[in-house]
């Protein structure tokens, strides 16, 4: 079994509640950030196994797939990556195979400090 640095593990573990917070409490931030996101999913499957492998993840003839994809995916899955923070976390797991989504550096949405 692959050993994971405790600080990396903590960072990855915190990503789940962070994405949940953005999706539930700051949907405007999520919408704005996704509007600035470019590219498309390459189906690498990395975000399905950031800390542990999702129970609905499987290999469909060698292609990463989700057993729930056609029925329902929670926002934490369907909106990934929400921002560059997510990409940074994701790259800790799979640094040599980039995500298909990107943000231009200057276009990164600032995180809101206040609720409007």
Site string for ligand SF4, 66-85 (x = CB under 6 A): --------------x-----
Q: How far is the CB of 55 from ligand SF4 (least distance, A)?
A: 16
Least distance (Å) from ligand SF4 to the CB of residue 46? Answer: 4
- In the region spanning residues 38 to 67, those forming contacts with ligand SF4, defined by CB under 6 A, are 41-47
Q: What does 18-74 look like in DSSP terms, one character per residue?
A: HHHHHHHH-HHHHHHHHHH-EE------GGGSSSS--TTEEEETTEEEETTTTT---
- Asked if 37 is part of the footprint of ligand SF4 (rule: CB under 6 A), the reply reads no
Number of C-alpha atoms within 13 angstroms, CB side, residue 87?
Answer: 20
């Amino acid at each position: 079994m692959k050993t994971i640095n405790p600080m990396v593990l903590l960072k990855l573990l915190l990503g789940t509640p962070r994405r949940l917070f953005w999706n539930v409490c700051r949907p405007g931030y999520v919408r704005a950030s996704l509007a600035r996101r470019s590219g498309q999913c390459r189906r690498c499957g990395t975000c399905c196994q950031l800390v542990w492998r999702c129970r609905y993840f499987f290999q469909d003839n060698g292609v990463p797939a989700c057993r729930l994809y056609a029925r329902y995916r929670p926002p934490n899955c369907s909106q990934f990556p929400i921002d560059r923070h997510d990409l940074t976390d994701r790259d800790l797991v799979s640094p040599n195979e980039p995500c298909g989504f990107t943000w231009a550096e200057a276009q990164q949405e600032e995180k809101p400090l206040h609720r409007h």
